[in-house]
Amino acid sequence: RAGGQQSGAAMEPERECRVLSIQSHVVRGYVGNKAATFPLQVLGFEVDTVNSVQFSNHTGYAHWKGQVLNSDELHELYEGLKLNKVNRYDYVLTGYTRDTSFLAMVVDIVQELKQQNSNLVYVCDPVMGDKWNGEGSMYVPKDLLPVYRDKVVPVADIITPNQFEAELLTGRKIYTEKDALEVMDMLHAMGPETVVITSSDLQAPLGNDYLIALGSHRKTKADGTRMTQRIRVESPKVDAVFVGTGDLFAAMLLAWTHKHPNNLKVACEKTVSAMQHVLQRTIKSAKAQAGEGNKPNSAQLELRMVQSKKDIENPEIIVKATVL
């Protein structure tokens, strides 16, 4: 049947795969749901979005205005889906959240959706803070940490913390790659099958112009034995501060792990390569807009998402991962 494979495959559409994405919405620009929806749709997913906030633009601009959704309003939207019996999802995706009761409501919804579909995969970016010049600081209220650690991470299947967030969740500092692997094991023990530390301040073998990301995928086989695949990805540093990159990363990782369920190496190569294409296009365009010698502003640094459609859909692999 090898010869007829193509036509047969073309006729049988892939089973619809539906994502519930609970994230911020901005009128202008690309963060949260605006950064996640387009790439997921381009890659063939149905995306249902709940906008945790609706702002004019991201908060890195001089001005921003808008509304915030509270946990009761989130629950009400979910109830509407439930009453119509359309609350069946293959994936849930969440990112930046500022409110503990909202986050707790997300956990309730994820648990209920997992009862509807035991194969549901929850992809969580536990956005809490970052390091600047080696010093970590939280940019969400401190009381979110115990909620992430004790409630969210245990129900998550894939998490994408940066190094600082991985340290917060485990209470353990990372100084070496060995530390990072142990921290990822601690995170696996808390629940998630897949852990990707999206950025770290570890020294890259390729040199200072590279940023290290690390991934770990733990699978329990039918006979009860455990297998862990661990990878390191070194990508070229891009000299600018972008907003929405974490949201884009998590969305594309969701898509590529779906398409390569047992190959974290390939999933990460495609995700990080696509990121590179988007960032290179964005920085080039931002510099052209700002003009020679001027620093691009927030509006000029918005991700060139639509212009990168082909790279998102079929990324040329320009960043390779190393299996550890």
Compute, in degrees rounded to 10, the torsion defined by CA atoms 95, 274, 19, 250.
Answer: -20
The DSSP secondary structure of 160-224, one letter per residue, reads ---HHHHHHHHT----SHHHHHHHHHHHHHHS-SEEEEEEE-SPPTT-TTEEEEEEEEEEE-TTS
From edge to edge, which strands make up the β-sheet containing 91-94? 66-68, 46-55, 18-26, 91-94, 121-124, 158-159, 194-200, 210-220, 226-236, 321-323
Contact 140, 127 (CB under 8 A): yes
- Among candidate residues 90, 99, 125, 247, the one labeled active-site is 247
Contact 295, 276 (CB under 8 A): no
Considering only CA atoms, which of 34, 11, 4, 8 is closest in space to residue 305? 34
Contact 220, 310 (CB under 8 A): no
Contact 27, 56 (CB under 8 A): yes
C-alpha distances (whole Å) from 45 to each of 38, 94, 175, 258, 307 are: 10, 16, 38, 10, 19
Beta bridge partner(s), residue 248: none
Catalytic, 48? Answer: no
Residues forming the active site: 247
